Amino acid sequence: MFKNTIVKTPGESYIHGLTTSDLGKPDYEKALQQHNAYIEALKKCAVEVHVLASNPEFPDSTFVEDTAVLTPGFAVISNPGAISRNREIIEMDPVLKSYYEKTYSIQSPGTLDGGDVLQIDDHFYIGISERTNLEGAQQLKQILEGENYKASIIQLEKFFHLKTGISYLGNQEIVVAGEFIDHPEFQSYKKIIVPAEEEYAANCIRVNDYVIIPAGFPKTKQKMNDAGYKTIELDVSEFRKLDGGLSCLSLRF
Ligand code: CIR
């Protein structure tokens, strides 16, 4: 069960954030509305929502997931791999220290984005991507193993972040797309397979009694409902335009 979440309101500079997509510029007003709906959905999942004020200095800072990896007992402050995002951790650090007595941090030259880290019960999977390098992944693995978790490092082929293509629903069941469908590391789990045309829906979040999924992916939604999950659909079009998804918009712990 999650008790807490942290989100950060998008600032006016949000429309100038990083992207690899060709979906056009985000509409700021619409992004704010979608962010509000995201907060309401989290509340429906019975978690506290700590809303941080926007900071226009960091256009991508609404994607708070990339700044940390959280467990019940400790926080690991990341070292984001994009230069324009790296100092987002300076603002997140005191927030996390208000919740956690024990914190670690990833040190340069190691880089790590939280979006590259997936927890499946006591096992963490860490993706090597454009943002997370081997040094950062190894530092995190060492921290986690020192805390009695298991950790595996996975080289990404195409996905932007690890969690762009995989999510954990609980009960040893994962949602997978693309390169993760047949990936040997994930063979032992039950799988909900996301069809290629709905690949964006692989980034979803299980929050207590619900799975929050992006709106507009009916096949994936049906598969989840058939597997017994209650879903909440949210339109996140303005976050998708900057390569963001549902998991990126919060830290959950
Ligand atoms: C970035 O390029 O860093 C942002 N525009 C998107 C970050 C998405 N975060 C995530 O998948 N965890």
Model pLDDT for residues 116-170, shown as the tens digit of each residue = 999 999 999 999 999 999 999 999 999 999 999 999 999 999 999 999 999 999 9
Domain CATH number, residue 166: 3.75.10.10
CA nearest ligand 1 atom 1, residue: 18
240 is in an annotated binding site: no
Long-range contacts of 86-91 (CB under 8 A, 24+ apart): 87/58, 88/58, 88/60, 88/61, 88/64, 91/52, 91/55, 91/58, 91/61
Report CA-CA distances (Å) from 10 to 4, 62, 95, 134, 214: 20, 5, 17, 30, 18
Half-sphere exposure of 170 (CA within 13 A, CB side): 14
Ligand 1, residue 247: give the atom nearest the CA. Answer: 12
65 is in an annotated binding site: yes
Task: Return d(Cα 113, Cα 129) in angstroms, integer.
Answer: 9
Task: Return d(Cα 117, Cα 95) in angstroms, integer.
Answer: 20
Q: Which domain holds residue 64?
A: 4-252
Model pLDDT for residues 60-104, shown as the tens digit of each residue = 999 999 999 999 999 999 999 999 999 999 999 999 999 999 999
Work out how many domains the chain is built from and give that number: 1
Whether pTM > 0.95 for this model: the answer is yes
* Interface pTM, i.e. ipTM: 0.97
